[in-house]
Amino acid sequence: MQPVNINAFNNIGTPTTQLGLQGNLPAQLTGLAPPPGPLVTSVEYFTPLGAAQTLTLEWQATATPNQFDLSITDFDGTALGTVTIDFDDGITPGVTAGSPAAFTTALPEANGVVTLTVNGGQVIELSLGNVGGLNGITQFVGDNSVRAPVRDGTPAGELRGVEIGDDGTVFAIFDSGARLASFIVPVADLANPNGLQPIDGNAFQLTRDSGTFRLFNPGEGPSGELRSNALEVANVEIAQEITSIIETQRAYSSNATVIRTADEMLEEATRLKR
């Protein structure tokens, strides 16, 4: 175990590892001779140092119907590779019109995910969508609407708060929107919790009566869950306590009356003796 020190994680950014493209490419631009100029899309990603950089995606319609060549360029002008995407025309039975039919590239590719090496070594998986699916890049008659709504990573940011989950995970929250899992707060299980000795600072100390402790992640084993941003509700029943006060007061009054009567009797006996 170690002390939780969230301030040690100030000004942290997280690198982008995944980008997911969605949107439509205009089908009417393909199959023309000569082909029209490329469509350009810019996609932002974040480096391990928290800097924002830009990938340039050029979508070139080819003279082959329902086919686009994608050229990918890094922020510094480095050509990262090309991907040829053939789309289904919907005429062939059993295919989905407008969906990718095949990806052809020299880059590592699997199930529509192309692996890029950017920024001199940073690896990003670029998802273009599944073959036969409409969950990524599509091609229908219309306008270019390609964008990258799926992206991880965050720029460098200042620490703005802390959250603790039910499972004990401590998250550092940054103004950039990043949530960094920093620590896990364990829960101690004791054979005799009532044997602990209270000490200053709302803490307890082990004693011979309490025995040793075992640590568990919250919600595992015999331990319970954690509740963050919660106040403990008082376990006092007000009506019961008022009733107890009234009973104690009446008992005190009765005892006082008995003592007073006994004192008066003793005083009378003393007076008669004289």
Query: What is the structure's pLDDT at 108?
Result: 96
Q: How confident is the model at residue 136 (pLDDT cuts 50, 70, 90)?
A: very high
The confidence band for 184, taking pLDDT boundaries of 50, 70 and 90, is confident
Residue 146, pLDDT score: 94
| Residue 34: pLDDT over 70 | yes
Query: What pLDDT was estimated at residue 71?
Result: 97
Report pLDDT for 194: 87
Q: What are the domain boundaries of the chain?
A: 17-152, 233-274
The arithmetic mean of pLDDT across residues 87-105, rounded, is 93
Which of 9-18, 198-207, 223-232, 250-259 is predicted least confidently?
223-232
pLDDT for the residue 232? 66
What pLDDT is recorded for position 235?
Answer: 67
Q: What is the pLDDT of residue 274?
A: 65
What is the rounded average pLDDT for all residues in the chain? 88
Return the top range by mean pLDDT from 109-123, 149-163, 216-230, 250-264.
109-123
Between 92 and 58, name the one with better pLDDT: 58
In CATH terms, the fold of domain 17-152 is Tick-borne Encephalitis virus Glycoprotein; domain 1 (2.60.98)
What was the pLDDT predicted at 144? 94
- Residue-wise pLDDT tens digits, 57-69: 999 999 999 999 9
Distance CA 164, CA 218 (A): 11
